[in-house]
Amino acid sequence: MIITRSPLRISLGGGGTDLPSYYREHGGFVVAAAIDKYVYITVHTPFANQVIAKYSKLEVVDSTADLKHPIIREALRLVGLDAPIEIASMSDIPAGTGLGSSGSFTTALLQGLHATVRSHVTPSKLAEEACHLEIDILGEPVGRQDQYIAAFGGITAFTFCSGDKVEVRPVPIPPVALSNLEDNLILFFTGYTRSASAILKDQDTRSMNKDKEMLENLHFVKQLGYESCAALEAGDLRRFADLMHVHWEHKRARSQGMTNATIDQYYELARANGALGGKLIGAGGGGFLMFYTEDKTRLRKAMTDVGLREVRARFDFEGTRVVEKS
């Protein structure tokens, strides 16, 4: 049996500029952080000559081609595996919450399948294969940051170039600032889950159609990403928090489905109770609100009093890896 795990992520700047419809013409830049909330995959050779997939559903089929789960099916094809094989998945946080679970699922699955055939795979190759599977094979309107931050871990800056080249650089944050950043970033679940596809599809279509408003928004957000990275490297966390707030104001203008009245009320409540900056993580529409605060006690009380659930997280610096092989 092989068990792999892949971290979920939070975006710290530049989110949205990692979609091919934007970066292939204009270049993209994202700063992201892996967190210690994981997707786990187990791969096992069963006695029966079948393909067994256990996720939110159970599939038992005779061959890879018969699988309904698109990512599992195409990952098996990509690595060249068929029956007998059994795959099961678990996650610390449910899908549809904006923490990049699809990219984490895909990287953990591919890592497990490569380990099954005793094929060494680097973080770069793992991320490239996961992107190829989701974007090129399945045609999903997703970006590339989720797969890359899951594969590499840490707090990392990604430059997305035309030709699909990705430059990867760990962000050198001063140790004291890194500790404060980890302590002062707080996540609250809004209670809403959603599929990112509709929001991302709208952005994708408008970018491909060279919609001026969308492109100007993404250009601005990319510049904020550069400035956020510089603030983190300088250890200027108040500047980083200010930029996160500006980012949210522009992000919420990108799509009508980005937020709703309830989420906006939560955000304003947080700002009135010690949040220096914040935003909704992921494509929008639900999931987690992330805030930076220097008054955690006050902010926690305000948000939990209105029924929001805090999820405490630390940074993950290992990325996708095999945790057990027997």
129, 116, 68, 125 alpha-carbon torsion, rounded to 10°: 0
* Confidence band, pLDDT 50/70/90 cuts, at residue 207: confident
Helices first, then strands: H and E counts in the chain: 11, 12
Q: What is the DSSP string of 158-174?
A: EEE-GGG-EEEEE----
Domains assigned to the chain: 2-172+316-325 (3.30.230.10), 175-311 (3.30.70.890)
pTM of the model: 0.95
Share of the chain above pLDDT 90, in %: 84
Query: Quick one: average pLDDT of 224-246?
Result: 97
C-beta of residue 305 within 8 angstroms of C-beta of residue 277? no
The answer on pLDDT for 311 being more than 70 is: yes
Structure tokens at 117: 């055939």
- Tens digits of residue pLDDT in 61-120: 999 999 999 999 999 999 999 999 999 999 999 888 889 999 999 999 999 999 999 999
Q: Is 11 exposed, middle or buried (0-12, 13-18, 19+ CB in 10 A)?
A: buried
The answer on pLDDT for 253 being more than 90 is: no
CA angle, residues 226, 228, 231, in degrees to nearest 5: 110
Question: What is the C-alpha separation between 52 and 288, in angstroms, rounded?
Answer: 32
The answer on pLDDT for 148 being more than 90 is: yes
Q: What is the DSSP string of 216-263?
A: HHHHHHHHHHHHHHHHHHHT-HHHHHHHHHHHHHHHTTS-TTS--HHH
pLDDT of residue 69: 98
